[in-house]
Structure 1
């Protein structure tokens, strides 16, 4: 993400946006725990008292950005799953989109998963996560009609995509002599993994006997 920096002391017509841009730049450089609200103010070119018109503290600023991240994920994942009507290919597209999001929106990704925000204090974050499940759970439900199995399949696909996204960012695949350490190759790896997990779920469902309640004889 390209973050525009503003000269110190410049008047901001959009203070909230200026502070969010400054915080994103700081997260990109230092991680979500590596700066203070005062530093975000200095980066934005505003007084240290300015943010309290919009944010009670640094966590509130990060929570606003995390909510932005959920909206961006929702946009990307909705577009990804719309490319097919087959649920297995929809999961593959979601997994690839997840990897790309983590690569292209590094700061938002880190805020969402590493900032340690207490979601009980920020209901918009719980709502953002629930909106993503609302997109994806009906897809896994077409592969695994039992809701618990559908939820488990979604968690496994998302977990695999998350792990591959981190491997890509940290250069782990190349470090261990593996191939396919580019973004495009990691996206394809995530898609293949999603297909494999969906296939395993179908096989399990096909071989699991259906237990029917005994009725009167």
Structure 2
């Protein structure tokens, strides 16, 4: 591919796309800006017109990932209605679906060490994702007696951690489990919700 320097049609997004592929192949810290530039077909110097360094490029990958992630969670929430339980389960499944379909974004968001508070833009889209999970949790917690009701934010954090653990341990290529990741997450959430009295014991 020939070098296109500063005349690339959409250099910023081309660099993001190149970085996402490199993140999938090598991890968020396994590539250089020069590699991203080469993959995008531009000179390394051209990168600095848009990004101060590799972390800024990864942060933009994460920002775009959170935008997709938040939209998926919102869609899952509305798709699962009218039952709060169905909607809650749908949100959990959306987490796994996102990690599978957008691995580069997922790793940029959760495995790069980039803080969601790095910039106001990144913080805003990350907060949207958290809000979608907490909204689903609050609706579900309304079915728990007030005196036994844990904070919705805590339950959302538990389910988020459970989903993340399933992705990290069993949803990655080469990580084998006798059960499908979706089944592991669903059964884990089921045990959790039974403990809260939201699902009757089998």
- Same fold per TM (> 0.5)? yes
Deviations 1:176-215 (A, max 9, x none): xxx22xxxx3223323332432332246xxxxxxxxxxxx
Provide the residue aligned with 1:17 in structure 2.
13
Q: Which moved more, 1:194-203 or 1:113-122?
A: 194-203
Larger radius of gyration: 1
CA distance in 1, matches of 2:115, 2:184: 33
Match of 2:195 among 196, 200, 206: 200
* Aligned: 1:92 with 2:75: no
Equivalences, count: 189
Alignment of 1:77-116 (within 5 A): 77-84=73-80, 85-116=82-113
TM-score (norm 2): 0.84
Provide the residue aligned with 2:124 in structure 1.
127
Give the root-mean-square deviation of aligned CA atoms.
2.0
Provide the residue aligned with 1:37 in structure 2.
33
Structure 1: gaps of 5 or more residues: 1-6, 204-217
Alignment of 1:131-150 (within 5 A): 131-144=128-141, 149-150=151-152
Q: Which moved more, 1:165-174 or 1:77-86?
A: 165-174
Consecutive aligned runs of 4 or more in structure 1 exceeding 3 Å deviation: 145-148, 170-173
* Aligned: 1:168 with 2:164: no
* Aligned: 1:191 with 2:186: yes
TM-score (norm 1): 0.79
State the secondary structure of the residue aligned to 1:53: coil
Q: Confirm or deny: 8 A CA contact 1:19 1:40 kept in the other structure.
A: yes
Deviations 1:120-147 (A, max 9, x none): 4322222122111222212211333579
State the secondary structure of the residue aligned to 2:42: coil
Q: Confirm or deny: 8 A CA contact 2:134 2:156 kept in the other structure.
A: yes
